[in-house]
Structures are given as C-alpha cells and as structure tokens.
Amino acid sequence: MSLTLYGMSSPNVVKILIMLAELNEPFAFQHINLFSGSQFSADFQRLNPNSKVPLLVTDDGKAIFESGAILLYLAETNGRFLPKQDNQRYDVIQWLMLQNTTVGPLLGQLNHFVSYAPEGEDYALGRYRREAKRIYAMLDKRLEEFDYLAGHEYTIADMATLPWTDYIENHGLDRLDYPSLNRWRTALEQREAVIRARRFTRDVQERDGVMFAQASLTERRRFFGLDE
C-alpha cells in the first residue's frame, strides 16, 4: 500500500508519524504551507472539506481526514495497536475519542492563548490553564493504575495523546507534579519508532519555521484567526 501524508509539525500530524513509524509503513510526506493558505485550495478541499491537516491519501485514491479516523484506519488495516476483543477495543476507542474531543482541543487553545493572545485575555487564559491542569491530573491518575491509557497494552490512544503532553512547561506547569504521566512519557519516548518520528518532525519543524518567516503579516493574521 502506498500512502501520502499531508501535514506539518502540529501534534495531530505527529501522532500519525508515530503510527506510521510503529508500523514501519513507507509513505510520502506532502508538506502543507498553512501560513500561505495552501489548505484552502480547491484541490485540497476536495480531499478534506475541513481544510485541516493531517490528511492521508492511499494509492487507490481514498482520502482520510481527522487524525483519530486516520489512526483507526491504519490500526484496522494493519491489525495492530487496536485490540479485536470488544471490551479492550472500546477502552482504546474511548481514550482516543477523549484525546480528539478534550485533550487536544483544550490544550491546543491554551497553547494559542499562552503564545499568541494579546494582553488582556486573562479570562480565557485562566479558563484554559485550569482545564489543562485538570486534564494533566486526569491522565496522571489514569496512569497510576495502568501502564498505558487504555490498559496494559500500548495502543493508538497513547500515540494520539503523547504529542499533546509536550507542552506542560509551556503551560506554566511542572511535569514532576505528574509522576505517572512523566513515567509514561519517558517510556514512550524511548521507543525506537517514536524516536524516528520525532527526528522526522524536527526536520518538518525547521521547514515550518522557514514558511512562517516568509509569510506576510496578512497571512499570519489569517493563520491565527485574526482576520476572516
């Protein structure tokens, strides 16, 4: 199977890079310049009407968007990292959905307000920081009881969540306050596939930096949602 991954260096793309590395699945990477608005082109929107990355396209033309859907597709296609037994399977799916609906969106909003919001956004900053503390504490408590998020097996739920826990210090918190989360992160970062995915991501981040530096003020304002 030939795969093309459209993306940049965001956590939602990193989780797919980790999965592809774990599967040892060859793929082509199509770097999307979000700052110039490439995701709004007619060709891209035909593949993903939501104009977001990641996007995975197979050699037979199947286009799969939304990171959770991509992880499920890869897991089911390859028969790995998603148990077949119903109880275990839904343990994985519920933690994957939690990442998609809560962990990623709320931590992502805090990333935005910490890094880009103008002065005076104290209410929003305070709200999302409180939510981040709650999320990190929830993950830490879960990982006190289990080796991995969905139980005692490493699954797509862990791959989905790991990149979103990179920002603890950026959120003004101390990762040592979350010892079980820290233990889990350390174990995952030692996996050979995660190391390869992180190495690939660093190269993509460098290209993102160049694209951002070349973006006009109008393009940057649009990227940050400051202009319609």
Q: How far apart are CA 72 and CA 174, in angstroms?
A: 32
Q: For residue 15, give the nearest of 152, 150, 160 by alpha carbon.
A: 160
Q: Per residue of the chain (228 residues), give pLDDT as tens.
A: 699 999 999 999 999 999 999 999 999 999 999 989 999 999 999 999 999 999 999 999 999 999 999 999 999 999 999 999 989 999 999 999 999 999 999 999 999 888 877 788 889 899 999 999 999 999 999 999 999 999 999 999 999 999 999 999 999 999 999 999 999 999 999 999 999 999 999 999 999 999 989 988 888 877 877 665
pTM greater than 0.85 (yes/no): yes
Q: For residue 72, give the nearest of 95, 44, 49 by alpha carbon.
A: 95
Q: How far apart are CA 208 and CA 34, in angstroms?
A: 9
Tokens of 188: 């995952």
Output the CA–CA distances (angstroms, integers) from residue 51 to 29, 32, 36, in the order listed. Answer: 17, 11, 13
Output the CA–CA distances (angstroms, integers) from residue 27 to 20, 23, 64, 80, 99, in the order listed. Answer: 8, 11, 14, 18, 25
Q: How far apart are CA 44 and CA 57, in angstroms?
A: 11
Buried b (16+ CB within 10 A) or exposed e, 188-204: beebebbebbbebbeeb
Q: How far apart are CA 143 and CA 95, in angstroms?
A: 12
Q: How far apart are CA 6 and CA 41, in angstroms?
A: 13
